[in-house]
Structure 1
Amino acid sequence: MNIFPDQSLSSCFLQHQKDLMQFLTYKVQCAETATDLTQETYLRVARHRKADTIENMRAYLFRIANNLALDHLRSRARLLQRDAGPVTDDFICEAPEPESVLANRQQLEMLEQIIYGLPPKCREVFLMCRVEGKSHTEIGDALGISPRTVESHMRKALEQIRKQID
């Protein structure tokens, strides 16, 4: 039993099957998917009962194949949007261990003590530079000192912090 109501539609599909496969492979960038879509194109063509109303059978075949490829690409895009991929350790948000929280707090307290133990001008320059992110020129303008003096205060602050931490 022939599933095609019109033999010319069947022969048109067979004649252009290789071209359809190449077209779909280019469109979806996957040979296996292109094979599946070519088969689906065949099934769609096979269901068509009014082949005599088709003016350009080749164009009709490629329109079906293109629509199937677009549907596939849209569903893949939706899937990728919904599923960002496999869960890896990079995405897992683990609560820090209590010991590391305590150690970090102790380090922070020690660093605060060291910073507040600096001479007032060094401390002010250090905080403006490292906390507020100001440049040496901006700090100098704000404090009424030269950028070289700012550099000197920063050097002194960093040396004292390194000594205290070591």
Structure 2
Amino acid sequence: MSQSRFNDVFITQRTSLLRTLERMVNNHSTAEDLLQETYLRVTRALSERAIDHLEPFVFQTARNLALDHLRARRIHSRTMVEDVPPEVVQSVAAPASNAEDAVHAEQLLERLNVRLSQLSPRQQQIFILSRLHGHSYLEIAEKLGVSLSTVQKELKLIMTICIGVAENSHSKP
């Protein structure tokens, strides 16, 4: 199955996928993020193996991502205790990491920083607004005076770069 065939299926089914995700997670912005992650996951899967029944695979991938999101949100809400003062929560020690993990994380951040610094100023702004400030795609489009499609395409490219940096870091010591 080719990437161009997947792109056609994705574009054709995008609205239906988005509606399905919105119903599941009850949040348009989160659904957009999950839709983008679906695209990236299926693209990665296609590069690794042939997929015979593409449409069901795409929908199942999206549903699985939504279920993972909901599960993580449920776990997060169970672990957040409103009665505990913030200073107590902050005093809990984080799991210790060894020096090798710290060096690896630092190298990964450095490579990611290098790649992100090569983005255009608009791409950098889109990334910051989306991933650091949590703005929705629509908010970003309005703020920057670009189309929603432009924001989606730019974020897809940026996330592909981020995933590539992360995947390459696993193959390097």
**TM-score category of the 2 structures, normalised to the smaller one:** 0.3 to 0.5
Calculate the TM-score normalised by the size of structure 1: 0.46
More relative contact order, 1 or 2 (CA 8 Å, 6+ apart): 2
Larger radius of gyration: 1
Calculate the TM-score normalised by the size of structure 2: 0.44
Structure number with higher helix proportion = 2
